[in-house]
């Protein structure tokens, strides 16, 4: 991905790196939190976007006790882990996509941003993100 699409709501800060993640079918969306139910709405939105826009079938799991090569996205809630109560950090590496937020609301906004980035990637027929 060479340039970012317009993101709404606009992130406070964006830092681009040279890493990318190859999007493949049959990966997992991991909910890393004591209350996975609180993240289920956001995880299902991400799951639906991956299916509708990329034809990818990713399942949701509330446990990180899975082989690392099956993990596509890890969504973590870490109270106080980011500066703003509804803030988040979204990181893409060669090994996967990582979301860290302090609250479920932060996860929601992170997933909104991630979906927009994924849609842009799918529209440009790029299989990596």
pLDDT-wise least confident of 1-10, 17-26, 95-104, 111-120:
1-10
Residue 92 inside a domain? The answer is yes
Q: Which residues constitute the domain of residue 47?
A: 28-121
CATH of the domain at 99: 3.30.379.10
Average pLDDT over residues 5-20: 84
Q: Where is pLDDT greater, at 107 or 8?
A: 107
pTM (predicted TM-score): 0.90
Render pLDDT for 53-94 as a digit per residue (tens, 0 to 9): 999 999 999 987 999 999 999 999 999 999 998 999 999 999
Is the pLDDT score of 44 beyond 90? yes
Number of domains in the chain: 1
Considering the chain, what is the average pLDDT of its residues? 91
CA distance 129 to 127: 7
Burial class (CB in 10 A: 0-12, 13-18, 19+), 115: middle
**Nearest alpha carbon to residue 111 among 44, 34, 55:** 44
β-pairing, 96-101 vs 88-93, is antiparallel
Is the pLDDT score of 34 beyond 60? yes
Residue 8 inside a domain? The answer is no
pLDDT band at 1 (very low <50, low <70, confident <90, very high): very low
* 3-state percent breakdown (helix, strand, coil) of the chain, nearest 5: 35, 20, 45
**Nearest alpha carbon to residue 17 among 88, 72, 71, 97:** 97
Note the pLDDT of residue 48: 98
Tokens of residue 113, six digits: 């941003």
Residue 23 inside a domain? The answer is no
């Amino acid at each position: 991905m060479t340039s970012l699409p317009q993101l709404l709501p606009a992130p406070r800060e964006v830092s681009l790196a040279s890493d990318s993640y190859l999007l493949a079918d049959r990966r997992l969306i991991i909910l890393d939190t004591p209350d996975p139910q609180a993240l289920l709405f956001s995880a299902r939105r991400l799951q639906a976007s991956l299916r509708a826009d990329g034809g990818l079938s990713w399942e949701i799991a509330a446990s990180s006790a899975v082989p690392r090569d099956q993990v596509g996205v890890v969504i973590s809630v870490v109270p106080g882990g980011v500066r703003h109560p509804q803030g988040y950090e979204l990181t893409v590496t060669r090994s996967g996509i990582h979301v860290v937020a302090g609250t479920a609301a932060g996860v929601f906004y992170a997933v909104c941003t991630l979906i927009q980035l994924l849609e842009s990637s799918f529209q440009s027929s790029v299989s990596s993100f």
